[in-house]
Structures are given as C-alpha cells and as structure tokens.
Structure 1
Amino acid sequence: MSNDPLLQPYRLKHLTLRNRIMTTAHEPAYPEDGMPKARYVAYHAERAKAGVALAMTAGSAAVSRDSPPVFNNILAWRDEVVPHIRALTDACHDHGCAVMIQLTHLGRRTGWNKGDWLPSVSSSRHREPAHRAFPKLAEDWDIERIISDFADATERMQAGGMDGVELQVYGHLLDQFWSPLTNDLDGPYGGESLTSRMQLLMDVLHGIRARVGDGFIVGVRYTADEAAKGGINATEGLEISRKLAECGMVDFLNVVRGRIHTDPAMTDVIPVQGMKSAPHLDFAGAVKQATGMPTFHAARIPDVATARHAVAAGLLDMVGMTRAHMADPHIVQKIRDGREDDIRPCVGATYCLDRIYQAGEALCIHNAATGRELTMPHDIMPAPARKKVVVVGAGPAGLEAARVAAARGHDVVVFEAQPDPGGQIRLTAQHPRRREMAGIIDWRMAQCAAHDVVFHFNTFAEEQDVTALAPDVVIIATGGLPNLELFEAGTENPHVISAWDMIAGDVKPAGRVLVYDESGDHPGLMAAEIAAGAGARVEVMTPDRTFAPDIMGMNLVPYMRALQDKDVTFTVTRRLLDVVRDGNRLRATIGTDYSDFTTHQHYDQVVVNYGTMPLDDLYFALKPLSSNAGAVDHDALVSGQPQTISRNPDGAFQLFRIGDAVSARNTHAAIYDALRLMKDI
C-alpha cells in the first residue's frame, strides 16, 4: 500500500473508489447520433485503464427533448441510449474504474432552433448571453414533465450499469430556478424564498429516488457561490450545501464557484493559462467542513502536487483532474510507477473546451491521441527495425516527430537553426500570461533526452548536412516566417512589420498603431496588448465580421480584460489594401469586401498578422533525392497506416514535411502531423 494521499481508496456509499483522482463531467462532443459509441468508449477506457478511480461521463446528458444539445451531448431521453451506456460502463468497469454520468436539462442554455425546434424553457424570461435564445417561462406542466424526465433518464442510466448519476446545477435549468438572478416565477418554484427556488431540485431528487431507490448513488454538481451581485453568495451557498446534506437524498457534493452565462464568467469558473491555479479549492474545502459530505471539486488543478495537497489537507475527498487527463490519460499509472516527471503537462491552453463551445470536438493542444484512441496511440510501440531519422526544425512539429521516432527505437538527429528549441512556441511563451506554453517544448525535450536524440542547434541545415548522415527518413519541420503580403498583393509591403516583430521586442510600439489581423489568431491580439501596454493608441482591424475568430471564447477573455481599459478600438469588415510612406507617417488605404468603398487613415506603425509562409527550400532541394518524392498517401495517413508510396525507385530516403513547413496552421495540427506520420515509421 502506498502512503501517497492520492492513491488511498475512498468509500462512497457502497462503492469503493480505488484512489482519489477522478475526471469530472465534460462533454468531449464525441457522441454519434446522440449516443456514446466506440470513440466515446475508447476515450474513457484509456483513462480507466491507466488508473482513474471515477469517470464522470457526459457534460451533460440531456434528459428532455426540449433540452437540445449545444455541443453534441448524449441524449439521455432516448431509450436506445441504454445499450450504449452499458458498453461505456462495462469498458470502464473492466479496468476497475467506477463510472457515473451527469444529467441535465439545459433550460435557457441552448437554442430553440436546434433538435426538434421546441422553445427553450426556463425560470427566466431573459436569454443567456452565451447562447442567445429567449426562453419560454416554465409552466406547471413543463415542471411536471421535466421532473419525470429526470427520473426516466436516471432509470436508463441505472439500467445501463452506471454506478450513479450527478445532477448539473450550475448554469443549467435547475440552477436557473434556484438563483435569484434567473428566477422570474411566482408561487411554489419562485419568489424570494430560497426554499421555494430550490423546490424544483428537491422534487427532481424525490422523483429520482422513487424510481431508482435509495441504494443508487446520486450527487449534485452545483454552484455554492455565484460570485455575482444579486446572486447566491458564499453564505447562502453554504446554506444550500447544508440543505443538500440534510435532505437525505444526495450522496456527494461537487462544488463549483461562479456562473457560466458569459465567456468571462465561464473563464472564472474554469480558469485558463495565466490565471491562478485551483482558485476555488479552499472554498470547496469550506463546504466540506460545513457539511461533512463527500466533497468533489475541479477547477484548474493541473498538476499532481496541487491535487495531492487538496486531499492531504482534507479539502476534498475526490479531486478532479479533467483537462490534465486530456493532456495525459496515464497520470495515475505514472504516479504509481514513480514517474511523475514523465507526465505530459496540461499547459492551460484550453484548446479542448474552446473547441467544444464552438461546436467542435475536444482535442488537446499537444496530445493528438486524445479523442483519437481508435487510431492514434498514447504509448509508442517499438519499431521492428532501427532506422536513421533526420528531423530539421525543433519546433512543436519537429520535436514531436523526434520524440515519436526515438520512442520507436530509431536513431534520431535534429537540426535547428536557432540556439534554442521551440519555434513559434518560444515566441508565444514570451507573453507573461502564456508562459505555460513552454511546457509543450520542455516535455518533449525531456522525452528526447531520455531517448538519446542528438541535437545540432545554431545549424541552418542544408542538403549536404542531411545527406551526409545517410538517413532512411527525413522530416522537414522548418516552420514558416511571417507573411507580410497583403491580400492578393503578390509582394511584401516594405512599410509594415509583423506581429512577431512586436512580440519579440524587435520593434517598439510608437504613436498610433494599426494591428491588421487577417489571421484572427493569438499573435494579432498579443501584439495589440503589447502596443497598448506601452501607451500606444491601438486599432485592431479585420476584414472578417468578427475580430480574432480563431481565439475562441475562453481564451479571448484575458485579452479583453487587458485591452478594454486602454486606448484600443476594434474595427471589423475593413480590409487593408495598401500602405505607403507619407512624410513621417504611414498612409493606409482601407477598403471592404462588401462594396467598393475605400478610405485613407494615417498611422505611425502598421502591424500585420497574416499567417506564415513555409520555409520549404530544403524540402524542395531534397525532394528529387527521396524515394517518395515528398508524396503522402492521404488515405493511409488518415486511417493510421504506414506510408509506402514509391515514386522514385532510386531515392535514398523517405521525405516528409509537417506543420507550418506545409502551410500555416496551429500547434495541434503540427503535432498531429508528426504523430500520425511517425507512429509507423
């Protein structure tokens, strides 16, 4: 038996959880037709296999037809969900992992123009800003129906073998009823009385217990402090917590602090990189102390040390490490094996959640196997024969290629033109709020060191440098350089600078600055924040109808908080056509895609963020010497099969380029390129 607090078992009612680590409810948006099929099962099974004690699935499963999914949720109101739940449950149980599911009615946190086009329903007449739909004020028959729907859904989950259910009571319908900020009802479910506003939850609990009995585990994930004027405060939240403990129908409390009705509110509940770790942990501990209830919590607990403290200090009984397990599903196994230094870190990029909230699927910014367990490995298997692999470029793509090749047992050499590894990540990590991104590089460098990868820094590799090593495989991961061509101009404009120039500090902000953001990703707003912080008058301009569309909701929040108290304006639907010198200033010609309208403005600096152009000279120099002439079999790549194309029988090596050396994309794309290509080399 280990003395590690995290590895101690925990008794929850009749259920013995094998340790204190869980993944809390989250919807990775992997269901198919509203059902958790093979991909969903494989995702959770990977974490169960590695030792997670409790998988809280879904985030959340919808109990009613008029609670249509906003990000591909499980449809718990359909009877056909039961066998799929059984498959999910069995897969987790087979590895000794308990499994539960979070149930909800979204209330106003959805839209009427989804699913069956039924009106959303809530205790409020007002729309939720994040999802925009104006709800119908709930009637008595709506309430009766929804109570029954929760009981029906719970019964389905019990039939599917689940160990329990968790009711979602923050931001969704049940919480909309009990919060004074979102309850416009009179009578038994409204008014100023907390008991009255909590009545819907109590009726739901009674309905569930009447259906599944007292033996089935039922918990509540709820906000015990809305941290908003006029909302439930900490004192009232503790009263709610005691009522839940005393009602006799709740087996555990999963504590949340804050609201989720806007992107800023959501980001305070689930902090992103650059924000405080575990900001609500002590508050969750106060709830545990006040109630004596089994207490769970998760909110930016990204590392083992913080999780261990939460349990050792008696603040929590079960600690949620959900995003951390998206970065590395094998955390528990590595703790057991004494390999904590080997854990792939969560860098707080929140690429996972931001993708979900834009109707995508959850993906980890630097673990491309997460969510792709059916085709991509988390553990790299040895190759049948050792090969010589040369990688050019030590950014995220090149380092992932080197890591995977070395883990396969190959002899790996990496050339890098810069004195340090990292590529664009090094530039990103110069921003104080985004320093954690360096973990993407640091972890890979440690993995490469453990496998004896040879690095040549300060080396601008040329054709003869590569061929002299007689490689079997060459990977070009040289990235790109900022594109300073304006749209369809054909040539670089000599009067503009790149966002990289400002982020790196090579050019200092001056006077009135235009940040022309054609890409809509991080470098544009990073440059704007630097310029504004230096006292410049800044205009952020985009030809798109929204600014920074690739900086998704939660990651946009810190930028806006940094910019809105400064002299910064945002201009949309305007295209920068030309920049010329006009005395000691710059004269910009500005048009629009919507008409022939043009105007002129003067600036002291024009900063352009328009992606990168590939650094591909070496690739094209090596292409005629390679056996595949650089070609990629896309069908094999997508299906996870080896590359076998031969276009040049006399070629000496296979040649591939990845990441921004192909085209401007993002960190995840670069790492995925490398993993799916190298796993079979």
Structure 2
Amino acid sequence: MANDTPYPHLFSPVRVGGRTLRNRVCLPATVTNYARANRITERWKNFLIERVRGGAAMVVSEVIAVDPEAIAQATTIIGFDDSNNADFSNTAERVEAAGGWLIGQLWHPGRQQLWHPTKAPTGVSDNPDPYSWTVPHVMDTDEIRTVIDAYIAVAARLHRCGLAGVELHGAHGYLINQFLSPWSNTRDDEWGGDVEGRSRFAREIASGIRAACGDGFIVGLKMSGDELVEGGIDVEEAARLTQRMVGTGTFDYFAYGQGNFSLSLESHVPDMYFQPGHYIDIPKRLRAAADGIPVMALGRIGTPELAERIVRDGYGDLVGMTRAHIADAAFAEKARTGRADEIRPCVFDNFCWGEIHQGKPLVEFHNPHLGTVGEADLRLEPAATSRRVVVVGAGPAGLEAAWVAAARGHDVTLFGASKHPGGALRLEALLPGRDGMGRVTEHQMRMAQRHGVDIRLGQRATADQLRALAPDAVVLATGADLRPPEGLIVESGAVIAARDYVASNGQAFSGRRGTAVLYDHDHTAAAYGVADRLAQDFKRLILITPRPQIAQGVNYCSAIGIYRRLYGAGVEIVPAAVPIRLANGCLDLRNPYSETARTIENVDLLVYVTPRQVTDDLGPALDGIEVQRVGDCRSPRNLMAAIHGGHAVALEL
C-alpha cells in the first residue's frame, strides 16, 4: 500500500489479468465524437493519453464498432478493418509509455437506434427499441454467430496493435445487454431463457477472444448491475450472471453500470440530483459473486475521498471516473500528491453528456483545454509584457478571465458588485439540488486567490474608479438581466423575475402561497430548479412555455429527472402557452400555434425565466481604454460560453 499519499488504498497497485495497474483509478469508456469519418484523430488519442499522464492507471476507449451495422455515426471508431491500426498502435504505445494500459471497448448497439433510426437494426427479440420505437430484425443463429466472430476478430486486431485488452460493452441496453436481460431477451432457443442461455452470447465471445489473444490479454465485461426496470436485470440476477461468467475462466474484471435505454436511463449517468456514489452499493453486493476477480465501481464518483472510501471499505477494487476525468485530466496525480484542492471539480450537471448525444464533440464547460496536448500538466503561456488589467464582474466569465490573466503574469484587479462571487451562478446554486454549481465558483475563487488577484467584492465599479486605476485593459463581465415577457400587459398582480425571487430566498410575496405560474421561456436546467423551488413554496404551480414541450435545452438523460420531479410534485405543465394579460388574479394565455385563448384564475404570482438582455453601463464611458466583453455581457449564452470566453480573452491579453 502506498504510504506517501493521502489516499493510500486508492493509489495501491492491483493485478488485473496479466497486468499490474499502478493504482485503482480508471477512465471508463465515454463517447467523445473526436473521430472523423470513423477514423481516429489526434484529439481522440490525446484525450486518452492525457488521462494516463494525469495519473490514471487504465483507460478504456470509447466504443469501437465490431461490424458495419454497429456504426452509429461518422464519429464512431471502426475496428473491423485495418484503417485505424496504426493509430490504435500509436495510442497504445504512448499510453503504456505514460504508465498506463489501454483497453478497447467492443460495441454493437443491437436494436438501439438513438442516432440513426433509419438504419435497419438487429436485435435479440422483436421488442421495439424503447427510445426510437424502432422494431428490430430478429437475429437468427447464423447471424448471431457472425457477430460473435466479428467481436473476436476485432479483439484479435487490437491485440496485434498492442492494446492491453478489451472490454465487452454489455450494459446500458446495447446488444450484449439485450442478450443478458430477461427484459429484452424473450427468445426460447439456446440464446434465451435462463441464465445459461442468455449469457451464452457473451461467454462465447469471451472464450473466442481468450483463445485468439492468450492469457496475458485483459478481457473485461461491463454489464448491468441493475437495469432498474421491471422484469430486467436486478442485483440478484446480476449476481447469477456474474457467477456464470466467472465459471468460464475468461474474464479479468467486471464493471457494473445501472439503467438502460428506457426511463431508467437517468441513472446511467447520475447527475447532481443523485447522491455522490449513488450506486456504489451495487458492486459491493456483487463482489462475492465475482469471486476475487476485480470489480469496478462506477457512477457519480467525483472526489478522491469517495474514491479512497470505495477501495478501503470494499465497494470495489477499481474506481471508474469518467466525468471527473473530463473536468480534470490530472485528477489522479493531483490527488496522489496531496493537491486535491487544485482539482477542477465535476459538478455532474451532464452538460458534457448532452453535447455528445447531439453528435457534437465532447466539451466541458470549465475545461477549455479538453483533449489537447499537455492538458494533464497545463502551463499557461506567460504574457510577453505584464499589464494592468481590471475585470468588472465576479461571475463565471469574469472570475475565469481574472485568474487566467493573473496566472499569465498580469496585475489583475477584480470588481464584483455583490458581496458574494458567482453572479447568476450563485443564485442557481441556491436552488434545490443544484448546490453543486457553487463548486465552480469556489474553484475559480481559489485559483484567483492563488494567483494574486486583487478581489474587491461588494463594490459596483464606476468609470471614474476604473480610470483612476490607469488600466491597460478592462474586461467587462457584467452579465445580463432577464427581460420581462414580451407583450405581457400587467394591469394588476404580482410579477417577478426568477432571479429576483431566488435572491429573496423565497420571501418575495411571502404572503401569497396559493397558485404560482412559472413562465418558462428558457428551457435550461436552472429554469426547472426554479420550478422545484416554487413547487415547495406554493400549494399549486403551473408551468407554461411557448414551446410544444419543456426541457428542450436540457440533455435528454437529465430531462427524465426533470419530468420525474415536476410530475412527482404535482406541477401542471401547459405547453404552447404565452402570457398576454394579468389582471385581478386572472392570467390570460394565448396558444401561438392555434391562436386560441385560455385563462388561469386565482394567480398569486407570475415568475418568469426569459431570454436575457445585456447589462453594460460602463463600456460607453471607457472611451480610449482597451475594453473586452465576455460572458453574457457580450452575448447571453450558456455557462460554457461564459467560462471559455473569459479564458480565451485572458489568453489574448
């Protein structure tokens, strides 16, 4: 056990198959969409290599299609021909040189057609795909054996390319999971029925890989520990499946996920509304069935303290952390060397996950250097000349600009009108379940203090103050305000912006606790945090939106949770509705599609979340001074635009 680290169990070596891992920290597979035309790119390689340079012991690639029918989109890596061989070899060599092992994740979606619903899917049974409702072609035995051979052939190719092993993706409703689960596998032949039949597909793949690649090649299985659907795999069934897999003698580790592509998908990537390590009891309960074969714990693990506890207290032998590694490539090394306070925190808002499932490249809102060379030991280029820089606004854009500029050697003063940093993000962190957003501000403040920023909170800067400081450059990050609902006539009644309601800690109009209406012209996760708060404060909440449905700005995984919470709290959702008149407790609505009208009576309070308008009183008064605008002050957008924009401006100063 390592004694020179605050986390000795986490950083102790472990044997996995024929390899020794230097510690227990692993990067599980995640889609990056960094490939182009199904070919590996340098950014794809960098993402994996930098996590090993940052201390991870084993990294699992994103999905590798085992045959042409498994190609979901142009960013899906293919492994069934030689086109990526050189890049597989190069990545494996560089990962090993950095002290880690590269595992390739073998994948076939089966019936699941999230990205490509027009493509003819193949499935285990004729049950429709739960998301696209596509009915698959049912594979016959010859087709099944062809796919088994495809898995084995790709594994053999990766073995020749120097990878340390492969992981069979048998979770989250993909093809292997479709065989394993009684929820999706209704066959009555040798490939279905009991555990023996349902596990045959995975067992034959693994046995074939072992025969082709030898005993030193790692063969892992990612499977569902609990699908969280009636009639699916639960922990008891997962234990029976695990025992049968152990009996083959071919598997070197098991990684347990949860949920599948149904409404239980919310649990697949548990967001900030779940407790840290929400599902770690699952691998702990399955370790006995694994009979000494290493088990990987997964799901909302974001701190070295939790990771240490998982290993120390027997929840798992390996700790898989995807989103924590997306936020900070050097998570492991910072933890190992006692610099946990420097780790850029993941707040589990699932923004990154939402981007990749729109087919976009993987991004992280407060890691602008994701997937670049040197990310794990990032060194900002020193400024050629130190300048006097004043930043106005202590929200996410201003804080980012301030600390990055200071880190590059500039003399930076930061003004914040509020006594508290964070801007609109601070208010979002006050909402139920969204307190994790405050960790972004805490990290930025630590960085600003570490790099010597002169922080002046509770001071609304004036043009005269700024001129008196004789700055070489001013960065304006003064944000934006919610604009009143367009066209709304208020003859009488109470109307308030959501931010003002939250800032009042729910005390605004505290004498009125009957019916509240939330006008959602925003569709971000924060808007539904406001709804959660109003549902607590009022007897009745009606949520109206001009669009045909809500949560269109939220990734579809977290959107499941939004619907679950709102319906669970009894919130009434009225789509296709625009407020046009409030008088005497009656709110008149107009349907923008049909032009029909309706009225909500006995309204005590109308709260609105709407498109923002820029707040910039200082810019016109700073003629003759170099002025840069960042964040909402430049153009009201999302948190990533604010932080990345602040970072980029600071690199240009």
Instruction: Tell me the TM-score normalised to structure 1 length.
Output: 0.89
Match of 2:516 in 1: 513
- The number of equivalent residue pairs is 642
**Structure 2 residue 471 is matched with structure 1 residue 468:** no
Deviation at 1:159, TM superposition (A): 2.7
1:217-265, CA deviations, whole angstroms, 9 ceiling, x for partnerless residues? Answer: 1110111333433222322221211221120111111122x32222x41
Q: How does 1:515-530 map to 2 (within 5 A)?
A: 515-530=518-533
Match of 2:242 in 1: 241
Q: Is the Cα–Cα contact under 8 Å of residues 329 and 375 in structure 2 kept in the other structure?
A: no
Match of 2:220 in 1: 219
Match of 2:344 in 1: 344
Deviation at 1:376, TM superposition (A): 12
1:144-190, CA deviations, whole angstroms, 9 ceiling, x for partnerless residues? Answer: 22111111211222232211000011111111112111012121111
**Structure 2, unpaired ranges of 5+:** none
What secondary structure is seen at the aligned counterpart in 1 of 2:475? strand
Q: Which of 7, 10, 13 is 1:6 aligned to?
A: 10
**Structure 2 residue 40 is matched with structure 1 residue 41:** no
Task: Kindly provide the amino acid, as one letter, of the partner of residue 393 in structure 1.
Answer: G
CA distance 1:73–1:493, change in 2 (3 Å)? farther
**Structure 2 residue 629 is matched with structure 1 residue 657:** yes
Moved more, 304-313 or 84-93: 84-93
Task: Kindly provide the amino acid, as one letter, of the partner of residue 283 in structure 1.
Answer: I
Task: Kindly provide the amino acid, as one letter, of the partner of residue 515 in structure 2.
Answer: R
Match of 2:398 in 1: 398
Q: Is the Cα–Cα contact under 8 Å of residues 493 and 604 in structure 2 kept in the other structure?
A: no
* Counterpart-to-counterpart distance in 2, 1:620 and 1:131: 52
What secondary structure is seen at the aligned counterpart in 1 of 2:481? strand
Task: Kindly provide the amino acid, as one letter, of the partner of residue 264 in structure 2.
Answer: A
Q: Is the Cα–Cα contact under 8 Å of residues 486 and 492 in structure 1 kept in the other structure?
A: no
**Structure 2 residue 503 is matched with structure 1 residue 501:** no
Q: Is the Cα–Cα contact under 8 Å of residues 590 and 601 in structure 1 kept in the other structure?
A: no
1:482-503, CA deviations, whole angstroms, 9 ceiling, x for partnerless residues? Answer: 111417x899999632222333
CA distance 1:56–1:112, change in 2 (3 Å)? closer
Q: Is the Cα–Cα contact under 8 Å of residues 390 and 466 in structure 1 kept in the other structure?
A: yes
1:86-139, CA deviations, whole angstroms, 9 ceiling, x for partnerless residues? Answer: 23223322312211111111111225946xx54111113222323432212222
Q: How does 1:436-475 map to 2 (within 5 A)?
A: 436-475=436-475
* Counterpart-to-counterpart distance in 1, 2:586 and 2:456: 42
What secondary structure is seen at the aligned counterpart in 1 of 2:360? coil
* Counterpart-to-counterpart distance in 1, 2:170 and 2:195: 14
Q: Is the Cα–Cα contact under 8 Å of residues 274 and 435 in structure 1 kept in the other structure?
A: no
Q: How does 1:65-104 map to 2 (within 5 A)?
A: 65-69=68-72, 72-104=75-107
Q: How does 1:97-246 map to 2 (within 5 A)?
A: 97-110=100-113, 113=116, 118-170=119-171, 171-191=173-193, 193-246=194-247
Deviation at 1:599, TM superposition (A): 4.5
CA distance 1:51–1:566, change in 2 (3 Å)? closer
Match of 1:669 in 2: 641
Match of 1:630 in 2: none
**Structure 1, unpaired ranges of 5+:** 627-653
Q: Is the Cα–Cα contact under 8 Å of residues 189 and 199 in structure 1 kept in the other structure?
A: yes
Q: Is the Cα–Cα contact under 8 Å of residues 511 and 537 in structure 1 kept in the other structure?
A: yes
CA distance 1:278–1:524, change in 2 (3 Å)? closer
Moved more, 529-538 or 175-184: 529-538
Task: Kindly provide the amino acid, as one letter, of the partner of residue 662 in structure 1.
Answer: R
Task: Kindly provide the amino acid, as one letter, of the partner of residue 288 in structure 1.
Answer: R
Deviation at 1:563, TM superposition (A): 1.7
* Counterpart-to-counterpart distance in 1, 2:328 and 2:134: 37
Q: Is the Cα–Cα contact under 8 Å of residues 54 and 376 in structure 2 kept in the other structure?
A: no
Match of 1:539 in 2: 542
* Counterpart-to-counterpart distance in 2, 1:493 and 1:402: 44
* Counterpart-to-counterpart distance in 2, 1:335 and 1:568: 43
CA distance 1:373–1:406, change in 2 (3 Å)? same
* Counterpart-to-counterpart distance in 2, 1:667 and 1:459: 24
What secondary structure is seen at the aligned counterpart in 2 of 1:413? strand
Deviation at 1:444, TM superposition (A): 1.1
Match of 1:51 in 2: 55
Moved more, 473-482 or 40-49: 40-49
What secondary structure is seen at the aligned counterpart in 2 of 1:334? helix
Match of 1:556 in 2: 559
Q: Is the Cα–Cα contact under 8 Å of residues 500 and 523 in structure 1 kept in the other structure?
A: no
* Counterpart-to-counterpart distance in 2, 1:465 and 1:259: 56
Identity across aligned pairs (percent)? 30
Q: Is the Cα–Cα contact under 8 Å of residues 517 and 609 in structure 1 kept in the other structure?
A: yes
Q: How does 1:237-316 map to 2 (within 5 A)?
A: 237-256=238-257, 258-262=258-262, 264-290=263-289, 291-316=291-316
Deviation at 1:532, TM superposition (A): 2.1
Task: Kindly provide the amino acid, as one letter, of the partner of residue 86 in structure 2.
Answer: P
Task: Kindly provide the amino acid, as one letter, of the partner of residue 220 in structure 1.
Answer: L
What secondary structure is seen at the aligned counterpart in 2 of 1:6? coil
- Higher RCO structure (Cα 8 Å, ≥6 apart): 2
What secondary structure is seen at the aligned counterpart in 1 of 2:70? coil
* Counterpart-to-counterpart distance in 2, 1:373 and 1:486: 47
* Counterpart-to-counterpart distance in 2, 1:462 and 1:372: 39
RMSD, aligned CA: 2.5
1:579-634, CA deviations, whole angstroms, 9 ceiling, x for partnerless residues? Answer: 242xx214324131x34444454444322211221111212322x323xxxxxxxx
Match of 1:317 in 2: 317
CA distance 1:512–1:490, change in 2 (3 Å)? closer
CA distance 1:565–1:51, change in 2 (3 Å)? closer
Task: Kindly provide the amino acid, as one letter, of the partner of residue 180 in structure 2.
Answer: W
* Counterpart-to-counterpart distance in 1, 2:572 and 2:308: 45
1:496-553, CA deviations, whole angstroms, 9 ceiling, x for partnerless residues? Answer: 3222233332344643333221221134322322222234322222222321211222
Q: Which of 17, 30, 36 is 1:32 aligned to?
A: 36
Instruction: Tell me the TM-score normalised to structure 2 length.
Output: 0.93
